[in-house]
Structure 1
Amino acid sequence: MARHPAALIVPKDFPELGLLVWNRDVARPIPREEAFAIYERNWRHVDAGRLTPAEAYLIEELTHEFGHGHRMFA
């Protein structure tokens, strides 16, 4: 059965993303493409060593979906 990712992401569910959106309501869901853009634009502020497995998986999914073949982290 194919996995259908949620159309919206709640930043507070992902610690590093929550930190990146410090200036907005972290409980407000955002579109997946917007989450990808936030990670991409602010990647220098992400502590990859602190990513939870769920957040690392989310980033991989978003990168595959919106990254045009480019990986954010190895």
Structure 2
Amino acid sequence: MPAASPATASEQQADLQQLGARLRDRRKALGVTAVACAEAAGVSRVTLHRIEMGNPSVTIGAYVNVAAALGLHLVVPVLDLPAAEPVTIAVGDYPGLRSLAWQTDAGTTITETEALNLYERGWRHLDHETLTDHEKAFIQHLADAYSNGRLLV
């Protein structure tokens, strides 16, 4: 008897159902029968059906095996945080950034990734000797947070 489905929030249940539907669509597009797919994945036909329905009680390993049997690589970004509002800063808070974004008002807000792009594109135009310690620390923060600790300059 299959395990009882754990309590699953509607958003996660919808994700599982979408995953199951994509796997089913891929199987059908390849012209693979449910029996052949289940056999190739090492699961029962009933388990394959439960996967294609997005049942949360099926192990992640079974989902991965079915995906692999269909020539797919299942990627589960478990550690991603829910999308949040991007951090913004005012261009005028950093004199070097202000010089790179000369065409904008000092109060213009941009995201940190936009600031990183401006620094990287305009790096050779910056007067590095006039950068404040605060701005240098900010540039290092941007590199650490968005570019594996390195500026692409």
Identity %: 34
**Shift >2 Å, 4+ stretches:** none
The residue number in structure 2 matching 1:39 is 119
- How far residue 51 of structure 1 moved from its aligned partner, in angstroms, is 0.6
- How far residue 56 of structure 1 moved from its aligned partner, in angstroms, is 0.4
Q: Deviations over 1:32-61 (max 9, x none)?
A: 000000000100011111111110000000
The residue number in structure 2 matching 1:61 is 141
Q: 1:40 to 1:71 in 2, by over 3 A?
A: closer
Aligned length, in residue pairs: 68
The residue number in structure 2 matching 1:50 is 130
Q: 1:32 to 1:16 in 2, by over 3 A?
A: same
The residue number in structure 2 matching 1:22 is 102
1:63 counterpart letter in structure 2: A
Q: Which moved further from structure 2: 23-32 or 33-42?
A: 23-32
Rg larger in 1 or in 2?
2
Partners of 2:123 and 2:130 in 1: CA distance: 13
- How far residue 28 of structure 1 moved from its aligned partner, in angstroms, is 1.1
The residue number in structure 2 matching 1:8 is 88
Counterpart of 1:23 in 2: which secondary structure?
A: coil
1:11 counterpart letter in structure 2: V
| Structure 2: stretches of 5+ with no match in the other structure | 1-85
Superposition TM-score, scaled by structure 2 size: 0.41
